[in-house]
Amino acid sequence: MKRLQGVEHPNRFIIILVLLSVLAAAIAVRIVYLHIFSHEFLAMQGDARAMRHIPIPAHRGVITDRNGEPLAVSTPVLTLWANPKELLTVKSRWSELAAALKVQPAVLAKRIETNATREFMYLERGLTPENGQSVLDLKVTGVYAKEEFRRFYPAGEVTAHLVGFTDIDEQGQEGIELAFNDWLTGVPGKRQVIKDRKGDLIRDVQVKENAKPGKQLALSIDLRLQYLAHRELRKALLEFEAKAGSLVMIDVRSGEILAMVNHPTYNPNNRRHLNPQAMRNRAMVDVFEPGSTVKPFSIAAALGTGRWTPESTVDTGNGQLRIGRYTIRDVSRGGLLDLTGVLKKSSNVAISKIALDIGAQPVYNVMQSVGFGADTGLSFPGERVGQLPMHRKWGQAETATLAYGYGLSVTAVQLAHAYAVLGNHGRNMPLSLIRQDRKADDGAQVIDADISNSVMGMLRAVVEEAGGGGARAQVPGYHVAGKSGTAKKLATGGGYTKSSYRSLFAGVGPVDNPRVAAVVVIDEPSKGGYYGGLVAAPVFGRVMAGALRMLNVRPDNLPTETPSVVVGTAQGGRG
């Protein structure tokens, strides 16, 4: 080998050339190997730099009434987000973007600068597709969109307390939406796309996983009855200038809740100026002393002991009964009353004497069997169970007050359920807010059928006969049974208020073939009276009349027409 001219260390130079040649050859071999024998590796590496998986939103399950009418649906919306770092490179377009988003330029600028070190910030959530696309059409660098769903409630305030609502991420926050959140929530899917280094979509490759929508939920309520109850309750609150009210209707045969409304209410579609007090589902959260509405169950307890019959009488004397340092008084003197008369006159004295005769335990047992002081099994968020006191040794005062509805507390739903038991011939059907396929004999027999039917007959007399106090609850074409109640409200510091009342009416219709049990609660009426028979009974009558017609229940009290007889003179011819 010739000596390299001008090279001080020729051997070193040769070694470097050889090493470079070997390196170049190795690279060439590696390139050939990767392209021919390991193509999948290159594809994987390329995909890792350009291939992306974006979520496919899954809509939440639809909530409907028992007839399929939608109560809660999810509608597609666009959510706009931005990369603040990218937006900082196009400050000249901030004012244009602010105008499209309908915000002040200074407000948008401050938000971008506050999040300058981040790569994500929301611009606007829940936009209609049209409004969202109009912003995207500006093609401002750093502005992106993602598909979401927003919950909408077609019935608005009419079903707000029952259905509840979700947050902006479609997670249940109140009512049925919260109680059945897992059932209603869908599972997002996954879509494979190719994006460039700027994040722009190049190609939609394929759907890797399909989105699974949430399951549909059919409630037991009938939206027609819900609207009816909502309208009549609101009308009563305005007429009597009441503070609040609740109304519950139950299918006697199945235990399904057909309507549940409260006032005041709110619009779940617009909660910007929401008063938290209006969010309470008072029918299930508020507890109260039921007053005279529980007297039918005390009568049932007396009949159950065998010591009393419907024809038994009790002397109310001068309308007062002294027990220790307490005096029980009747609003009106009744004299000698049979058990029907006790309910018609709503005599505290008479029912107290009956309870003292049979003892507190039978009364307690009947009230417990119809659901007072117990969980309804509805699993509704925030629902209260009330209180049914149990004493180791019952005093006379505790026995008497329990019999006429003081010293215990119930919810409107519990009270309606108890009357549904009476209407179902003493059989206790489990309550449900979900549509069911049950038969009337699926429940447990908790009151003897003959006793239950006998009490129903007494309650029919309360509504239909003179002096019964329930005349305003009558329903044209139907026999209905019911009982009014007027209960003083508890004072904050203990004891009872002097002028604050709850007006109550509970009943069942029609009597011959019971179908619907209903309870009306009017809280603190301040104009035109406060007695349950005056304030709550008319609401019951109007709602029951509408409900029985809507449910196509056959009338059982149509007037009987007397056939007319035409009297004339017979004329005969000669034979």
Please give the Cα distance from 299 to 448 (Å, whole number).
13
Same domain? For 188 and 214 the reply is: yes
Residues pairing with 490 in the sheet: 496
With respect to residue 35, please indicate whether it lies within any of the assigned structural domains. Answer: no
pLDDT per residue as tens, the chain (575 positions)? 455 555 566 777 788 888 888 888 888 877 777 667 666 665 555 555 556 666 777 889 999 999 999 999 998 888 998 988 889 889 999 999 999 999 999 999 999 999 988 888 999 988 888 998 999 999 998 898 888 889 999 999 999 999 999 998 889 999 999 999 999 998 877 766 665 555 555 555 566 677 788 999 999 999 999 999 999 999 999 999 999 999 999 999 999 999 999 999 999 999 888 888 899 999 999 999 999 999 999 999 999 999 999 999 999 988 999 998 889 999 877 789 999 999 999 999 999 999 999 999 999 999 999 999 999 999 999 999 999 999 999 999 999 999 999 999 999 999 999 999 999 999 999 999 999 876 656 789 999 999 999 999 999 999 999 888 899 999 999 999 999 999 988 887 777 888 899 999 999 999 999 999 999 999 999 999 999 999 999 999 999 999 999 999 999 888 776 555 444 433 333 33
Bond into 154 cis (ω within 30): no
| Residue 410: Cβ-neighbour burial (10 angstroms; 0-12, 13-18, 19+) | buried
**515, 551 in Cβ contact below 8 A?**
yes
With respect to residue 536, please indicate whether it lies within any of the assigned structural domains. Answer: yes
Same domain? For 244 and 204 the reply is: no
Please give the Cα distance from 88 to 260 (Å, whole number).
53
User: What residue spans of 77-222 are helical by DSSP H?
Assistant: 84-87, 94-101, 105-114, 129-136, 160-163, 175-179, 181-184
Same domain? For 488 and 473 the reply is: yes
Same domain? For 399 and 429 the reply is: yes
With respect to residue 40, please indicate whether it lies within any of the assigned structural domains. Answer: no
Same domain? For 214 and 298 the reply is: no
CATH code at 151? 3.90.1310.10
Active-site amino acid positions: 292
CATH code at 261? 3.40.710.10
With respect to residue 88, please indicate whether it lies within any of the assigned structural domains. Answer: yes
**399, 363 in Cβ contact below 8 A?**
yes
The H or E element spanning position 544 is: helix 537-550
Same domain? For 403 and 517 the reply is: yes
| Residue 230: Cβ-neighbour burial (10 angstroms; 0-12, 13-18, 19+) | buried
With respect to residue 256, please indicate whether it lies within any of the assigned structural domains. Answer: yes
Same domain? For 211 and 358 the reply is: no
Please give the Cα distance from 239 to 230 (Å, whole number).
14
Which string of DSSP letters, residue by residue, matches 485-516?
EEEEEEPTTSSEEEEEEEEEEEEEE-SSS--E
For residue 14, what are the contacts with CB-CB under 8 A and spacing of at least 6?
none
pTM exceeds 0.85 for this model = no
Q: How many domains does the chain have?
A: 2
CA-CA distances (angstroms) from residue 215 to 74, 179, 462?
12, 14, 46
Same domain? For 214 and 229 the reply is: no
pLDDT of residue 496: 85
CA-CA distances (angstroms) from residue 205 to 51, 188, 192, 194, 334?
9, 18, 5, 7, 86
**302, 329 in Cβ contact below 8 A?**
no
Same domain? For 394 and 326 the reply is: yes
DSSP one-letter code for 36:
I
User: What residue spans of 200-244 are helical by DSSP H?
Assistant: 223-239
pLDDT of residue 416: 98
Same domain? For 206 and 262 the reply is: no
For residue 371, what are the contacts with CB-CB under 8 A and spacing of at least 6?
414, 417, 418, 421, 428
Task: Detail the DSSP E strand segments found in 220-360.
Answer: 244-251, 257-263, 313-315, 320-323, 326-329, 336-338
Please give the Cα distance from 242 to 239 (Å, whole number).
8
Domain of residue 146: give its range: 57-218
Same domain? For 313 and 187 the reply is: no
Same domain? For 400 and 501 the reply is: yes
**214, 58 in Cβ contact below 8 A?**
yes
**223, 122 in Cβ contact below 8 A?**
no
With respect to residue 5, please indicate whether it lies within any of the assigned structural domains. Answer: no
Tell the residue number behind the tokens 């139907």, with chain if given.
478
Q: What are phi and psi of 174, to 5 degrees?
A: -145, 160
**71, 65 in Cβ contact below 8 A?**
yes
pLDDT of residue 368: 97
pLDDT of residue 209: 72
- With H, G, I as helix, E, B as strand and everything else as coil, classify residue 206: strand
Amino acid at 497: T
Task: Tell me how many helices (H) and strands (E) the chain has.
Answer: 20, 19
With respect to residue 103, please indicate whether it lies within any of the assigned structural domains. Answer: yes
With respect to residue 47, please indicate whether it lies within any of the assigned structural domains. Answer: no
Please give the Cα distance from 206 to 348 (Å, whole number).
76
Please give the Cα distance from 56 to 61 (Å, whole number).
16
CA-CA distances (angstroms) from residue 422 to 157, 214, 513, 517?
32, 38, 12, 9
Please give the Cα distance from 530 to 518 (Å, whole number).
19
Tokens of 252: 């006697």
Please give the Cα distance from 285 to 186 (Å, whole number).
29
